Structure 1
Amino acid sequence: MNIVEKILDTLTGYERVTLQETERMLVLDEGRFAAILGAGRHRVKVKDSLREVHTIDQLRFVSPYDRALFRQRPDLAQAHLLEVRTGPEELVLVTRDGRPLEVRMPDSRVVYWKDAGEWAFETFQLSEGLQVPGALLSRLTAAGVTAGLTQVTVAEGHIGLLSVDGKPSGQLQPGVHGFWKAGRALSLKQVDLRMRTHEVLGQEILTKDRVTLRVNLTAQFRVVDAEVAVTKVKDFEEALHKALQLAFRKTLGALTLDRLLAEKVTVDAEAAEKVRAEMSGLGLEVGEIALKDVILPGEMRDILNKVVTAEKEAEANVIRRREETNATRALLNTAKVMAENPVMLRLKELEALEKVAGKVERLTVHNGTKGLLSDLVSLKE
């Protein structure tokens, strides 16, 4: 600035200001909005003027004159500023230079500097649903714009039951899901849909013959209707537990101990079907039901062991007597054959003699060799 300009500005009550590329100046002259100045040198009145310098790198226009500027000088505001308003059921995704910047919640207002970038605004109606489309969710997550989101993950083999403000709002498949917060209370309950095993352990039973014992039951089941299983009862596994207890306590209590032990592998079909029908109304599919263990009191185990031992000993005695009888009958038959056939008897004698001769070193024949040969000839005749 030369000396002439300086003197002229002093005489007329003005001064020169220089603004950088990232600076803007709101000027009020005698209380009224005069201009919004951009980068460069400007001649500004000194007296009765007010000046606000803003940095557009901060993106937002924040000033006590904000609303008054839009009311009194809409032309000036629209030339430099962008106003974003959301209704009570709206959200706005703000994008700057093609990258998500932030999500504006319902009933909010914000003003951006128009020169701060390439702006884009996308409006979402909450009445159309709270779930964020999958592609948009990935985009927002990559940009770090998650303040207005609620993300939930449903595990493999499960299904998610979504509730909004305490009311059921649909089911979610396995994967990552995002929802707009928007002042809503979101809750997710995950339900396992895989086949599982439920056990009833240590169930005390009094049999028909008044023997107290404990049994362990096992049942396979899976959830086929998650919404029914969760809403009809507080805890569907506890409901299955109680149903198994009651059904088989009644059934097994009508059996004697011997019959119960004999039918341990397969439980009463009628009781099993009753449990299956009851659980079907709760959204469960019950598969195989079986007695896993029958646990007897110590004294009863000793008695049963003695009974089993006595039964086995009796069976062994029967088998031993039968074999002795068969052996005796065989000897009697042999004796009859020898009595009727002397030659057979002599052959048996010679076999016995041969066996004896094979076990001794010397054999003495008292009637001589001739006598032995004569006996052999006689046997032959």
Structure 2
Amino acid sequence: MTESVPPVTPTALFDTAVVAGVGLIGGSVALGLRQRFLARRVIGLDASMDVLREAEALGVVDEVRAQCGEWLRGADLVILAAPMRALAPLARELAPWLSPSALVMDVGSVKGGIAAEMERLGVRSFVAGHPMAGSERGGVTHASAALLENAVWVLTPTDHTPLTALSRARSLVEHLGAAPVVMPPDAHDALVATISHLPYLASLALTHMVARDERLSLLAAGGFRDLTRVASGDPRMSRDMVVENKEALRGALSRFRRQLDRLEADLDEPEELLAAAQEGKRTRDSLPVVRRSLLPAKFDLVVAVPDRPNQIGAVTQALGAAGVNIKDIEVLAIREEGGALRLGLESAEDVGRAAGVLRSLGFEVRARA
């Protein structure tokens, strides 16, 4: 018989976290904070009560709020996750209520504007950032902590960013399972203009060509769909994203036109076109593959464990005795008073059975979405 253990919850990095804007990315951050035991309490702030009710029902957040107020002073982590056009107004609304000691971050795809706005507002412990993750399917319904795993998360401090704030932001990103990369805001905006915003405009151009000739749509197979996938994103959010970064994007468009001109000229030079194709293949094949969760997130269970010997054994033995098959196991984090394990199970039913077994032994568990 497996010996029971005293209840344990890993020491949280933050006591109270507020996610302002509970959409795809904000919801994914909130889920990561809850499921990895990184915050004792996660509050969702959003102007839409429908969004808040859905986020609460899905277990994305612990509490919901529809308005800023005195309650915000108790937050030691605030994540701004509104769409690009709403980001600066949201910052202005929150700024008077923020604790000077709170770490404040954003997840917008353009960094120069929000970094300048937060400096103007005098929010000292602000670290601008951009997790390079997303989906054409938006909204909190599609939020998942797994979306952030192994993703590059760019942090863009300015000359006025405190080193302690940057260090705390890096630690949070790493604990969420992402890989932090640090660069200046303007460098980030120039790079994403090429690798993110330019492909979106190229997708629009290609889909517009198909829309204007019905015969093309009959022949648009998998390759075309893959190439134009980003055109399926939210039109308003995508429009705001590229407009916010228009200066850097104009430079990227100019370079892209030169590449197209060169390829057009190479149509008369087969060997040059072959060399261009070979370079393209080498570059495309060398791009890293970002691997998210290997198992469907809905079959995952996260278990809080104390930092003492044989805790993994206690968990696996108890589930083995109960007939629950563990297909994958991952140590998510070990902190001062314990850490967390991710268990990949075979089915939703196994998640429920495993949760019951482990709770009966004193473990705290959370199902992952």
Look at both structures and tell me which one has the larger radius of gyration over its CA atoms.
1
Query: Larger % of strand: which?
Result: 1
Query: Larger % of helix: which?
Result: 2
> Normalising by structure 2, what TM-score?
0.16
